[in-house]
Structure 1
Amino acid sequence: MLIIVPLTLDKGHTKSLRVNKFFTAMNVVVKAKLKFSTANHIFKLQTNGFLDIYHSQKCSDFISIRHGSFFYKSNLTPTKLLYMVYFWSKDHDQVMIIDELKISNRTCIDWCQFFREICSADLLRGSGVIGGPGHVVAIDESVIAKRGRGANAQARPIPQQWIFGGVDLITNQCFMRFVDRRDANTLLPIIRQYIAPGTEIWSDEWAAYRGITGMGNGYTHKTVCHKHLFKTPQGVHTNNIERLWSDCKRKFKRMNGTVRGFVPSYIDEWMWRRTRERDHYFSDIVQEIARQYPV
């Protein structure tokens, strides 16, 4: 679909370009006239599909239309960038993306990591606080990365990585935090940070949770003993948070594992997707890129 996007030049001169409907908010031009000029500028479409703006017809200095955008300094063509974002938004595996776009493994890894950083920044905009009076939040901790061997026989083993989180049983909102320890000094401050005062909290009988009612935030704490049952006669359970762990880990199983340093960004990506409709992934990530990289 072709649309008209105006480019405003100095002295109020405006020239319209016919461009594909592709990231127009980020000023990425796919098709335009090969070359045209004004009194102060010359516009030239490169073979890679990007438009360069020269200051004058006698000057070789130019400003790429990608300048300051998310795609600045990228060597990928607009078409490949479009497919890169689209394939990532559809959660295709990287092997498929590399094969379809004929790009290097390093390029694919870097771009996918860039998209996950966009997700992380978007999540940080929110307070992350869940629950409140009349709400129930189930909490739990789980191993997200198992203990591994060191690089060689002399290297120290890689410790297992724990994650702690909670889910609101009414709104389905959640929070997750990586933790090195599961003691009260570590978990209780996180509960205070992410769970609103007046919330009813459900958990198993892990010793670190015994101090919840004494935190002074109006919390009500109810537990279930998993040695005997998964749900109390009063209805207390942790099924929702355990299902959350299962859904989250399913992505890592499908990937056959990942580099330990990338795990936090994959968790952020998973949480970002979880709060959106699948059909809106593509439009949402494009809008978020445009918001974080205004041009």
Structure 2
Amino acid sequence: MPVKLKDIYQKSADLTCLIQWLIGLNVLIDLNGETCKSCETGKFGLRKDSSYSRDEHVWRCSNKKCHKKVSVRVGSWFENHKLTLEKILLITYFWVYQVSELFVRHELEIACQTIVDWYNFAREVCTCVLEKESEKIGGEGKVVEIEESKFGKRKFHKGRKVEGVWVFGGIERGSKKCFFTTVTDRSRETLLGIIKQNILPGTTIISDCWKAYDILDQEGFDHLKVNHSLHFVDPTTGAHTNTIESTWRALKKSLPVSGTVKSLYDTYFSQYCIRKKYLKDSSDPFLKFLELIKSVYNPQILIPQLTSDKPTSPKKQRHVLLPILSPNINDSMDDFDI
């Protein structure tokens, strides 16, 4: 069963339960039983400590002379933020299910700018995941449709003047693989560089008749053209760009109606790709996105920095007192378990 909104509220009713659940998902660091690097003798354990943070829990060394404390948020998606774990989880949940910022503000009673910031953080995760898992699309026997599209222009020349942004993209038929990027110009040099960076040689590329694509046959690609001024499907080759045309419509529909900053367009494209590739058909989109968050904000990689890999000293064994008359008696007080 996928995680429901009520499940998050139920787990959040008990902060210990919520933290343990997040630790189990590896979204929060797990230091349980690890040797403290500061003293190299004590072991970390999860302790209640309301004086340390609003999370009311902390990883604390068992050595009474050390008592080093480590935040449960260290290295995680939640680190360095004042919101409670519950509210950050809820904002993330609402982002996954594309809930409007107005509704989130009403439900959680937090500032609109805070919600905007967290939605931006979520899109940054999308960008990081795509960069880490970057792979070229297409290849022998594959078909990729490419095209440019203008974002932000006025409809029917009405409304305030918007400069707009040109976006270049490609989508592989029969898969969820795609790429989109803003471009400063549509020159041959610019578009060819992006094509080579994102599409494998040997791919059949279908495009319109923009002159920048004329060189593709000489660059290791099979190139088919569609003259959109005459027809949508080439009558001879059957080539068409219907797939990417429909993708442009879906992509533009996914953008906010207003307030989209040009510098953030690439993050919106990353968001679209992540939703299409990972979340759309997932049995639990929320848990899937938490996995993606973990791949970017993985607190477990900090464990070697906080813990000791040196073997701990063996515990002192209880010494047995020798008979008083024994010549082997050691007068040192070290032999006595005091």
TM-score interval, normalised by the smaller of the two chains = 0.7 to 0.9
Task: Please state how far the C-alpha of 1:60 moved relative to its aligned partner.
Answer: 9.1
Query: What is the TM-score of this pair, normalised by structure 2?
Result: 0.69
The structure, 1 or 2, with the larger RCO (C-alpha pairs under 8 Å, 6+ apart) is: 2
Paired amino acid for 2:209: E
SS class of match (2:278): coil
Q: Is the contact between residue 184 and residue 208 of structure 1 (CA under 8 Å) also seen in structure 2?
A: yes
Segments of 4+ moved more than 6 angstroms: 38-42, 56-61
Q: Point out the more displaced range, 203-212 or 45-54.
A: 45-54
Could you give the per-residue CA deviations for residues 237-259 of structure 1, whole angstroms, max 9, x where no partner exists?
Answer: 1111111111100012x533412
Alignment match of 2:108 (pick from 101, 114, 128): 101
Which position in structure 1 is the counterpart of 2:335?
A: none
Give the corresponding residue for 2:304: none
1:208-223 pair list within 5 angstroms: 208-215=212-219, 217=220, 219-223=221-225
**CA pair 174-276 structure 1, distance change in 2 beyond 3 A:** same
Pick aligned residue for 2:232 from 222, 230, 233: 230
Rounded to whole Å, the distance in 2 between the matches of 1:245 and 1:182 is 17
Identify, as 1 or 2, the structure richer in strand: 1
Give CA deviations for 1:188-215 in whole Å, capped at 9, x if unaligned. Answer: 1211111111111111111111111112
1:19 maps to a residue whose letter is C
Q: Which residues of 2 match residues 28-67 of structure 1 at below 5 A?
A: 43-46=47-50, 48-54=54-60, 62-67=69-74
- The correspondence for 1:263, drawn from 253, 262, 265, is 265
Q: Distance in 1 between matches of 2:175 and 2:60?
A: 53
Give unpaired runs (5+ residues) of structure 1. 2-16, 30-37, 148-156
Q: Would the aligned equivalents of 2:78 and 2:85 in 1 still touch at CA under 8 Å?
A: no
Change (3 A) 1:61 1:28: closer
Q: Give the alignment's Cα RMSD to 1 decimal.
A: 2.8
- Flag structure 2 segments of 5+ consecutive residues without an equivalent: 1-6, 8-14, 31-41, 155-160, 300-338
What secondary structure does 1:291 align onto? helix
- Structure 1 Cα separation of the partners of residues 46 and 141 of structure 2: 63
8 Å contact from structure 1 (residues 128, 175) kept in 2: no
- Write the letter of the residue equivalent to 1:270: Y
Tell me, yes or no, if the aligned pair for 2:129 and 2:295 is still in contact at 8 Å: no
Trace 1:62-211 onto structure 2 (pairs within 5 A): 62-146=69-153, 159-211=163-215
Structure 2 vs 1, CA of residues 111 and 42 (structure 1 numbering), >3 Å: closer, same or farther?
closer
> Which whole-Å CA distance do the structure 2 matches of 1:261 and 1:116 have between them?
13
Q: 1:19 aligns to what SS in structure 2? A: helix
Structure 1 residue 71: deviation in Å?
A: 0.8
Match of 1:27 in 2: 28
Quick one: structure 1 residues 214 and 99, their matched pair in 2 at CA, closer, same or farther if it must change by over 3 Å?
Answer: same
What percent identity do the matched residue pairs reach?
32
Q: How far 1:28 moved relative to its partner?
A: 7.8
Shift of 1:75: 1.5
Q: CA deviation at 1:59?
A: 8.1
Q: Which amino acid aligns with 2:286?
A: F
Q: Which one-letter code corresponds to 1:44 in the other structure?
A: K
The alignment of Structure 1 onto Structure 2 pairs a total of residues equal to 260
Q: Secondary structure at the match of 1:264?
A: helix
Paired residues of 1:213 and 1:220 also in contact (CA < 8 A): yes
* 1:129 CA drift (Å): 0.8
Contact 1:224 1:231 in 2 (8 A): yes
CA distance in 2, matches of 1:41, 1:83: 27
192 and 28 in structure 1: CA distance in 2 versus 1, 3 angstrom threshold: closer
How far 1:158 moved relative to its partner?
7.0
1:276 aligns with 2:278: yes
Q: Secondary structure at the match of 2:206?
A: strand
